[in-house]
Amino acid sequence: MPGSDLAPPSGPTDSPRQDGPREGPHEGPVARWFNRRGWSDLITGIPFFWLFFFFLIPFVIVVAMSFATRSPTSPPFSFGLDGGLLDFRSYARLFSDQLYIRALGISLWMAALSTVLCLLIGYPMALALTRLSPSVRTIMLMLVILPFWTSFLLRVYAWMGLMGTNSWFNRGLTALYNMVVPADWALRSIQMMNTNFAVVVVMVYSYLPFMVLPLYANLERLDMTLNEAAEDLGSRPWQVFRDVTLPLSIPGIIAGGLLVFIPVSGELVVPGLVGNPSNPMIGRVISDEFASARDWPMAATVAVALLVLLVGPMMAYSHFENRAQTRREEAP
Amino acid sequence: MVEPGAERVGTVAPFIRIEGVGKRFGSFRAVENVNLTIDRGEIFSLLGGSGCGKTTLLRMLAGFEMPTEGRIFIDGQDMAGIPAYERPVNMMFQSYALFPHMSVAKNVGYGLKHEPMTGPQRADRVREMLDLVQLGPYAERRPHQISGGQRQRVALARALARAPKLLLLDEPLAALDKKLREHTQFELMNIQEKTGVTFVVVTHDQEEAMILSSRVAVMDKGRIRQVGSPTEVYEYPASRFVADFIGQATFFDGVVRSVEGPVAGVEVGALGLEVQARAVPGLVAGQAVTMALRPEKIEIMRERPEGPNVVAGAVEDLGYFGNHSIYKVRLPGGEILSVLSANARRVGESGRVAVWEDSVWMRFDPAAVILLTE
Amino acid sequence: MNRRPTFLLSCLMFGIAFLYVPILSMIVFSFNNARLATVWGGFSTKWYGKLFQNDQVLEAAFLSLRVALVSATVATILGTCAGIALARLRRFRGRTLLSGMVTAPLIMPDVITGISLLIFFILLGSWIGWPAERGFTTVALAHITISVTYVTTIIQSRLSQSDLSVEEAAMDLGSRPWQVLRDITLPIISPAILSGWLLAFTISLDEVVVTSFVTGPGTTTLPILIWSKVKLGVTPDINALATIIVAVVTVGVLIGWAILTRSDRRRRRDMRLAEQSNA
């Protein structure tokens, strides 16, 4: 067996190393501290304290604020005025005043509607992207991503231009509408601005890339031979979609859905610019309570309520994700 | 269990001593109670299937994992608490782990930055290492600009540049195609001979372990099952696991009827005869044993031969492999025995001993029988 | 697949049209001669000229650039640190809290972030006298805090994709952990750091809700200015401004994309040549 009867080796002739563990050339105490733990303490400590200071503390203040009492002082709140340390009156109002429940309901409904529409428009787009040749695909992908980099505000603004009563878009839609309906239903123009319809259209428009990109990332990873196997076993294309592609893309659907649902439910810009002012969404309510009514405890309470509603689906998602993760790890 | 490798200890002070080493990840025991000594200048292989703990053991030698129990000594020095960057050990990674943003020369020279060397000395050393692996002309290329085989050699040169006392190789040939692998095996052995560095190789490929190593440790489920030279583990496996894992074998249960000097008579029901086998130490009459037969140790023929250990059977199946054929022969008792026969003549010119359904005779030498008492 | 997925392709085309028609319409009407923003009255570039004489717009744009530069840089440093810590340091005290604080802002609606930071700044100002007033500093602090999440996510996912054994190899060759970070990890993730910076930069340039809460008098960023103008309705000069912004972003993104695809293509060609030329 070659190698089994090697002659006793002569040590490396030109070893650049002395025996024993290596020591750095000149190590002062500072250098030694840094070598041991300092570098890792620095890179964890700096972001930790930043977020602790500018994210966690403000958040805790908001939660605490929801239990405070409104007062005509500056800043306009105080704690423990009427005996008890915690004041639950804001929470009582949250459930008794129709305004808040209604706003929460409208927001969640609009968010759900926008999410479903984004999915219906975005899913075929994402699927189409995976079926393109690589060179066409990069260009199309680029076209989908590009609006994501351009200003959100300006994209909303662009719709304001389209939906105004005099715009070519509105006149075109009106003409189409008048062709379809009986003559006495004819309109001079369609009222689009300042309606919930406008809010949903613009939300779908603004958040569509957030749905398409995670879906595409998910669909692209799917093994095309699975589709071929299903076809080979006699499935028609729509059956292949129903039995193979759709079930495997559920993680992408959930990720995209959350990326749309969560920001839309707290959205302030879109309803502020194209929405119906008499039907405020929850973001508007929070901002009005805070800035116009100067009722900080109430604003904080509504904010906490919204967060609780958003954390639910988020937790469900991370549970789902963790389960999928462990399943992946168990399969070697 | 008697380790054939253990007798080497004492002649030379062991270069690497692994004492009762174990490693747990949570409740999972990756490595359990490993005791091993490796001599200076050896090519030592850790051989086993995936998840047998061989890579964990290697990573403990490198210092990427710390043992949860036991100790590791390298050249007499206890490695407990010494991080990877202070160990006189270098590693060639399975993925090669070349730095993608550095040229080949910079990759090879990277480890030398931590040595007390002048710039020209460092450059000389890099050139020397590149010449050793015949990559001189590629010094300024980036890793993605060279082929897989060249990347493997860069990884080797980089790991050898600091003249480590011990070189660890994690599946060094796994990423190469078959032709290149054969060539590289011999190149690795040449380089080992030239540099004299001790190699510890992790591999799942038994052929690779056999060709490369001076000794092999066969691992299973975190434990070492046998240590020995390639010949020892192949010809004298200590357990059914090792006999089965390395090479092929057909196993039969038997009972020892007699032990007369070097020859034991073993009654094997499935063969319907008393097999004459070379006795192993401590064998007594009446003991139950397992007998293993390697396919290439059995002769197959059409005429009944003379001598002991002759069985009859019928060819159930045969596979043609070009240089040899494998016969699956059904014995009277129903068991299947694998027999390997070299195709000494061209098969098309009636070189085949037998075809399907033919009755054949088989004979094996008493010295070829592996008796397992475990 | 050899069938042309006609249905899917038309959906894609419809979707892309949906994404671009409003923007294109806005661009077209920025060259409108008429005062009414939505009725075509002939070609003109006069609104662009007016824009460049508008000091208010130029000042806001300059301020936004400064805020974005500062906040993107700080957020990139913080996010890179956090990403490395979360992806590479297995155990450290506060790991769960840090990863929670990194991901939580993702589900935090802008309104709540804005209110919580504003309350925080007001209370902090009344307790320790800093920040005395709201302006550049508070806006930058807010933008950094928002962007850190995104930078961290980019860095962390890049690191979790990269081969850990490359870093182990450097340590094996004698580098201490921080030297590995400097010599290997940072160079390898430098493209991710750059894209993290770009994302933080655009987030800052675009951010309006949180900014509207934490900004003070005299600190009007470009989005805040546009927001206040847009609330009053569609006007041709905003069309022009929007067109310029869209053009700048598009050109920037296209240049970045071209550079990336070119280096990627060159890399692939190198690899192919290497495998062909030598076994």
Count up the domains in chain C and report the number.
1
Chain B interface residues (partner C, CB cutoff 8 A): 62-64, 83-86, 89-91, 93-95, 97-101, 110-111, 113-115, 141-142, 144-150, 158-159, 162, 179-180
Residue of A17, A42, A44 for testing the chain C interface, max C β-carbons within 10 Å: A44
Q: Are residues A159 and A302 in the same domain?
A: yes
Helix locations, C104-215, DSSP H: 110-128, 136-161, 164-172, 177-180, 186-206, 209-214
Cβ-based contacts of B125 with chain A (< 8 Å): 14, 16
In the structure, what pLDDT confidence band is assigned to residue B260 with cuts at 50, 70 and 90?
confident
Count up the domains in chain A and report the number.
2
Distance separating alpha carbons of residues A47 and C95, to the nearest angstrom: 11
Q: Are B291 and B372 in contact (CB under 8 A)?
A: yes
> Under an 8 A CB cutoff, do A128 and C8 touch?
yes
User: What is the pLDDT, as a whole number, of residue A16?
Assistant: 42
| Confidence check: pLDDT of A21 > 50 | no
B117, B193, B211 member nearest A16 (Cβ): B117
The CB density around residue A234, as the number of other CB atoms within 10 Å, is 7
In a domain, C246, yes or no: no
Domain range spanning residue C99?
A: 57-239
Q: Are residues A290 and A224 in the same domain?
A: yes
In the structure, what pLDDT confidence band is assigned to residue C278 with cuts at 50, 70 and 90?
low
Q: Dump pLDDT digits (tens) for B112-137.
A: 998 889 999 999 999 999 999 999 99
- CATH number at A227 reads 1.10.3720.10
Report yes or no: B51 at the A interface, CB cutoff 8 Å: yes
pLDDT: is A224 or C214 the higher one? C214
Domain range spanning residue A103?
A: 96-330
Q: Dump pLDDT digits (tens) for C115-170.
A: 999 999 999 998 898 888 899 999 999 999 999 999 999 999 999 998 899 999 99
ipTM of this complex prediction, to 2 decimal places? 0.91
Residue of B42, B126, B234 for testing the chain A interface, max A β-carbons within 10 Å: B42
Cβ-based contacts of C265 with chain B (< 8 Å): none
Q: Are residues A139 and A36 in the same domain?
A: no
Distance separating alpha carbons of residues B315 and B359, to the nearest angstrom: 7
Tokens of A322: 């963790």
User: What are A276-279's contacts with CB under 8 Å, separation 24+?
Assistant: A276/A194, A276/A195, A276/A196, A276/A199, A277/A194, A279/A106, A279/A196
Selected residues 227-246 of chain A with any CB under 8 Å from a CB in chain C = 227, 237
In the structure, what pLDDT confidence band is assigned to residue A166 with cuts at 50, 70 and 90?
confident
| Confidence check: pLDDT of C186 > 90 | yes
Q: Domain spans of chain B?
A: 4-244, 248-372
Q: How far is CA A90 from the centre of its chain?
A: 29
User: What is the pLDDT, as a whole number, of residue B12?
Assistant: 56
User: What is the pLDDT, as a whole number, of residue B176?
Assistant: 86
> With respect to CATH, is domain B4-244 assigned 2.40.30.170?
no
CA distance B102 to chain A (A): 22
Over residues A244-264, the mean pLDDT reads 91
Q: How far is CA C29 from the centre of its chain?
A: 27
| Confidence check: pLDDT of A319 > 90 | no
In a domain, C152, yes or no: yes
Last residue of a domain, one of A65, A83, A115: A65
Q: Are residues A124 and A266 in the same domain?
A: yes
A149, A169, A311 member nearest C253 (Cβ): A149
Selected residues 4-43 of chain A with any CB under 8 Å from a CB in chain B = 4-6, 8-12, 14-17, 19-25
Cβ-based contacts of A19 with chain B (< 8 Å): 75, 88
Q: Dump pLDDT digits (tens) for C78-90.
A: 999 999 999 988 7
Tokens of C174: 């004698």
Distance separating alpha carbons of residues C143 and A325, to the nearest angstrom: 33
- CATH number at C91 reads 1.10.3720.10
Over residues B254-259, the mean pLDDT reads 91
Q: Which helix (H) or strand (E) holds B341?
A: strand B336-342
| Confidence check: pLDDT of B8 > 70 | no
State the DSSP code for B12: B
User: What is the pLDDT, as a whole number, of residue A83?
Assistant: 59
Over residues B336-364, the mean pLDDT reads 82
Q: Which of A277-286, C255-264, C270-279 has the lowest mean pLDDT?
A: C270-279
CA distance A220 to chain B (A): 25
| Confidence check: pLDDT of A10 > 50 | no
Report yes or no: A328 at the B interface, CB cutoff 8 Å: no
Burial label for A174, CB within 10 Å (0-12, 13-18, 19+), is middle
> Under an 8 A CB cutoff, do A303 and C181 touch?
no
User: What is the pLDDT, as a whole number, of residue B6?
Assistant: 44
Selected residues 265-304 of chain A with any CB under 8 Å from a CB in chain B = none
| Confidence check: pLDDT of B29 > 60 | yes
Chains in contact with B, where contact means 3 or more Cβ–Cβ distances below 8 Å, are A, C
**Residue C27 falls in which region: left (phi positive, over 0), alpha (psi -120 to 50) or beta:** alpha
> Amino acid letter at B207?
E
What proportion of chain C, given as a percentage, has pLDDT over 90?
59
Distance separating alpha carbons of residues B233 and B248, to the nearest angstrom: 13
Cβ-based contacts of A306 with chain C (< 8 Å): 109, 112
pLDDT: is C37 or B255 the higher one? B255
Cβ-based contacts of B213 with chain A (< 8 Å): 3-4
| Confidence check: pLDDT of C195 > 70 | yes
| Confidence check: pLDDT of B245 > 60 | yes
> Amino acid letter at B131?
D
Over residues B16-44, the mean pLDDT reads 93
Cβ-based contacts of C231 with chain A (< 8 Å): 272-273
Which residues, including other chains, have CB under 8 Å from residue B177's CB and lie 6 or more apart? none
What proportion of chain B, given as a percentage, has pLDDT over 90?
66
Cβ-based contacts of A287 with chain C (< 8 Å): 111, 115
In a domain, C112, yes or no: yes
| Confidence check: pLDDT of B250 > 60 | yes
Chains in contact with C, where contact means 3 or more Cβ–Cβ distances below 8 Å, are A, B
B91, B93, B144 member nearest C270 (Cβ): B144
A43, A150, A269 member nearest C208 (Cβ): A269
In a domain, C197, yes or no: yes
Q: Are residues A60 and A104 in the same domain?
A: no
| The CATH number of domain B248-372, selected from 3.40.1080.10, 2.40.50.140, 1.10.3720.10, 3.40.190.10 | 2.40.50.140
In the structure, what pLDDT confidence band is assigned to residue B350 with cuts at 50, 70 and 90?
low
Tokens of A156: 């909303």
